[in-house]
Amino acid sequence: MKKVAIIFYFILLEAYGFAQSTQTVEAYIQKYKDIAMELMRKDKIPASITLAQGILESGCGNSELARNANNHFGIKCKPEWTGEKYYYDDDAKQECFRKYKSDFDSYRDHSEFLKTRDYYSKLFLLDICDFTAWAYGLKEAGYATSPVYAQMLIKIIENNRLYRFDVPCKPPKKDTIQRVVVKNTPKPVAEKIDTIAKKAIPQTVQKSTEEDFSDIPLNDAMRNIYLNNGVKYIKARKNDSFETIANDMGLSVYDLLRCNDMKMGIAIKAGDMIYVEAKKKKSETEFHVVAEGESMQTISQTYGIQLKELYAKNRMKPDSEAAVGQKLWLKDDKPE
């Protein structure tokens, strides 16, 4: 499954030419709640789970896959797929994703995908009103690789009260949600998530700023996830270290350093982009002209591209630096 989340507005402007208004969480919910409820009635999948996955996997319908392929759930082609295809760099280069005629087709196929895979069969033995169990069941069945995927789904459901669309289920008691989430959450996240189980983030419509996309807290530190070049990252805070960020995000320090092409000892400043998953092998932006004060590492962070790939595309020696004014190729290899 495509590893998704919330989209960083300013990078989209440059990388995708995304000039139109972006879709907010509430707008996304209103647009797809009816089909999620109908699929719950028909296919016995909680509407809250379907909506939460759509929000997370497609960045509220703003991701490249959602916009270009109507793919809201990151479903890859698989051998049996005979429909249209869309190729996109995800875990590997130019992976094949399903392309749909409409976003509604994506929702319907998501239900069929869960219903027809043996490794999801145990989900349908769960209480249809227990979205917490479904969230953890999806993670255990391998829907996503993120160690906090279940927690993210649960928080999206709680923050937006998506359980109200689970008809005819009764709304859950929040104190019960809190106990269940803490019980099933791996440490160290479990020690923190209980403090925000009753908190909700207001879904307000703002002007076009990156704050439009910061609505999925993972813990009491209220770390917000953004997307750049399809890769999840957070923003460093004052006095942050790799240890504190890794602890908050449920990652090892080694993995965090590897995701950012960094080594221990590098200082982190407030506002720095810190990726929480591996960067991509290329950018949608064609090239970059090096400015004063930029390094190959900072450029790789800006565009969400692996440092070794940046060197390779430009046929540069590792650990060398580009000159001010030099044109660096980000999407394709530098012409001979």
| Cα-Cα end-to-end distance for the chain | 36
Domain boundary at 145, 172, 196, which?
196
Are residues 184 and 298 located together in one domain of the fold?
A: no
- Whether residue 276 contacts residue 251, with contact meaning beta carbons closer than 8 Å, is answered with yes
> 76: which DSSP letter?
B
Is 125 inside a domain boundary?
yes
Domain boundary among 196, 220, 239: 196
> Domain with 60 in it: what CATH number?
1.10.530.10
Q: Residue 153, class by beta-carbon neighbours within 10 Å (0-12 exposed, 13-18 middle, 19+ buried)?
A: buried
| Three-state DSSP state, 95 | strand
Answer yes or no: do 184 and 319 share one domain: no
Does a structural domain hold residue 301? yes
- Rounding to the nearest 10 degrees, give the CA dihedral for residues 40, 121, 186, 194: 20
177 plus 78 within the same structural domain: yes
Long-range contacts of 277-280 (CB under 8 A, 24+ apart): 277/3, 277/146, 277/231, 277/232, 278/231, 278/306, 279/229, 279/231, 279/304, 279/305, 279/306, 280/89, 280/229, 280/230, 280/231, 280/304, 280/305, 280/306
Looking at the fold, whether 47 and 146 belong to one and the same domain comes out as: yes
Q: Of 167, 196, 225, at which residue does a domain stop?
A: 196
Report the alpha-carbon distance of residue 266 to residue 243 in Å, rounded. 12
CB 288 within 8 A of CB 312: no
CA 61 – CA 6 distance, rounded (Å): 10
Whether residue 230 is contained in a domain is answered as: no
Specify whether 172 is located in the same domain as 297: no
- The position carrying tokens 């991509």 is 280
Q: How many helices (H) and strands (E) does the chain have?
A: 13, 7
Is the distance from CB of 328 to CB of 285 less than 8 angstroms?
Answer: no
Q: Which domain CATH number covers 297?
A: 3.10.350.10
Task: Examine residue 15 and state whether it is found in any structural domain, yes or no.
Answer: yes
Q: Do residues 18 and 138 both lie within one domain? A: yes
| 181, 307: one domain | no
pLDDT tens digits, 169-206: 887 765 444 434 434 444 444 343 333 332 322 222 22
In a domain, 222, yes or no: no
What pLDDT is recorded for position 149? Answer: 85
Both tokens of 204, joined, read 């307000």
Let me know whether 192 and 319 are in one domain.
no
In this structure, are 187 and 301 located in the same domain? no
Give the total number of structural domains in the chain: 2
Q: Are 129 and 169 in contact (CB under 8 A)?
A: yes
Q: Would you say residue 276 lies in a domain?
A: no
State the residue range of the domain holding 307.
Answer: 287-329
Where do runs of H (alpha helix) occur along 173-250? 174-184, 190-193, 242-249
Asked, for residue 150, whether it belongs to a domain, the answer is yes
- Pair 184, 320 in one domain: no
Measured distance CA(22)–CA(208) in Å, rounded: 8
Q: Encode the chain (336 residues) as per-residue pLDDT tens digits.
A: 544 333 333 233 233 333 344 678 888 999 999 999 999 999 999 999 999 999 988 888 888 899 999 999 999 998 889 999 999 877 677 889 999 999 999 999 999 999 999 989 999 999 999 999 999 999 888 888 777 888 889 989 988 899 999 988 887 765 444 434 434 444 444 343 333 332 322 222 222 233 323 334 444 345 777 888 888 888 888 888 888 888 887 788 888 999 999 988 788 888 899 998 899 999 888 889 988 889 999 999 999 999 999 999 999 999 899 998 999 999 999 988
Domain shared by 39 and 185, yes or no: yes
What are phi and psi for residue 16, nearest 5 degrees?
-115, -5
> pLDDT by residue (tens digit) across 83-129?
999 998 776 778 899 999 999 999 999 999 999 999 899 999 999 99
Neighbours of 76 (CB within 10 A): 16
CA-closest candidate to residue 61, choices 92, 93, 101, 103: 103
Predicted confidence at residue 280, as pLDDT, reads: 93
Q: What pLDDT, on a 0 to 100 scale, did the predictor assign at position 284?
A: 84
Cα–Cα nearest to 53, from 140, 150, 137 = 150
296 and 189 in a single domain? The answer is no
Indicate whether 33 belongs to any domain: yes
CB of 213 closer than 8 Å to CB of 226: yes
